[in-house]
Structure 1
Amino acid sequence: MAETTTDEDISTGVLLFLPFREMERRVFDFVVAAGYDDITLAQSRLFQRISPGGSRLTDLAEQARITKQSAGFLVDQLERAGYVERVRDPDDARARLVRVAQRGARVVALAAGEVERIEAEWTAHVGAEEMAHLRRVLLRLREITDPYA
């Protein structure tokens, strides 16, 4: 007979991952339903790591924890679909940056709106005070867990 898992048995890591995965799924489904159905989840995971001023491919690969070759393949696909563009790095003429293109910016805006709706739903569920407390705690944890902060 299988043991029943209690809330106390679930690790904090899993408890952090579950809402993230649900938000990711909902945002991705929303973007696809809005007509951007030529982007994959793997591409979106790399795409969301692009800095506002652009990112080097090696940085994207490192942040996504994939090989530079895999990142290059995904960026090639995103570029062909018009979501990103490669531009010269103003700090190093030999380097290129991956930057969000106009079509990609429309997806970013759509996704941001859906994230706001989901966060409002979660706030309504747990209360504004609890949600604000959760954000404060997560921001403190980011100090020791996010090497890119």
Structure 2
Amino acid sequence: MSSEPGAGYELPLRMLMAFRTIIDEVHAELARAGHPDLRPMHGFVFQAIGPHGTTAAELGQRLGVSKQAAGKTVESLERMGYVERATDPRDARRKIVRLTGRGLDSLARSAAAFDRIRARWAADLGADRLAALEADLRRLTPADFFRLDTPGWFGGA
């Protein structure tokens, strides 16, 4: 492969590396704040669970993985204290997965870390350049930019 700037493969790799740089920094902050076991995939899981909870089958569908893979992830997160299983108040036959206070804390800390990183990038690049980059990416990508099925697309949860 050529390392020539502008080579076709460089754009997706640079975008992936920008994503990875941000995610790695967020997870380093989370680890320092008492969440050392969280992995990038867990953020997708937490978003797929949502504020009202979901079933393991629905979680698997949202993530693009099997019900079994989703269940295994839920078991792991439950052991770490990030989620809990409870009876669905609308249907006692169903079990729903909900975020615990620990799970909600990790989301709040992640959001704050993302905001700090964005502010630093704005300072490094200039607010106008970062805003233009974001506007260009919005123009070039689908409106539903947050695809929860990314873990399944990458090969599983």
- Where does residue 33 of structure 2 map in the other structure? 34
Q: Which amino acid aligns with 1:85?
A: E
Q: How many residues are aligned here?
A: 147
- Where does residue 155 of structure 2 map in the other structure? none
Q: Following the alignment from structure 1 to structure 2, what is the Cα–Cα distance between the partners of residues 68 and 25?
A: 28
Q: Following the alignment from structure 2 to structure 1, what is the Cα–Cα distance between the partners of residues 2 and 132?
A: 33
My pick for the range that moved more, 111-120 or 132-141, is 132-141
Cα distance change on mapping 1:44 and 1:145 into 2, 3 Å = closer
- Where does residue 67 of structure 1 map in the other structure? 66
> For the aligned residues, what is the CA RMSD?
2.7
- Where does residue 136 of structure 1 map in the other structure? 135
Cα distance change on mapping 1:4 and 1:135 into 2, 3 Å = closer
Q: Following the alignment from structure 2 to structure 1, what is the Cα–Cα distance between the partners of residues 39 and 143?
A: 30
1:65-100 C-alpha deviation (Å, 9 max, x unpaired): 332211111111111221112234455443333221
Cα distance change on mapping 1:91 and 1:14 into 2, 3 Å = farther
| Runs of at least 5 residues in structure 1 that lack an aligned partner in the other structure | none
Structure 1 segment 95-106 matched on structure 2, within 5 A: 95-106=94-105
1:93-132 C-alpha deviation (Å, 9 max, x unpaired): 4333322111111111111111111111111122222322
Cα distance change on mapping 1:44 and 1:14 into 2, 3 Å = same
Partner SS for 1:143: coil
* 8 Å Cα contact 2:27-2:38 kept in structure 1: no
Shift of 1:8: 3.5
Q: Following the alignment from structure 2 to structure 1, what is the Cα–Cα distance between the partners of residues 135 and 55?
A: 30
Cα distance change on mapping 1:27 and 1:48 into 2, 3 Å = farther
**TM-score, with structure 2 as normaliser:** 0.74
- Where does residue 121 of structure 1 map in the other structure? 120
Q: Which amino acid aligns with 1:77?
A: S
Cα distance change on mapping 1:22 and 1:91 into 2, 3 Å = farther
- Where does residue 58 of structure 1 map in the other structure? 57
My pick for the range that moved more, 105-114 or 15-24, is 15-24
Cα distance change on mapping 1:146 and 1:80 into 2, 3 Å = closer
Q: Where in structure 1 do 4 or more consecutive aligned residues deviate above 4 Å?
A: 90-93, 144-148
**TM-score, with structure 1 as normaliser:** 0.77
Partner SS for 1:135: helix
Q: What's the % identity of the aligned pairs?
A: 32
Q: Following the alignment from structure 1 to structure 2, what is the Cα–Cα distance between the partners of residues 68 and 85?
A: 17
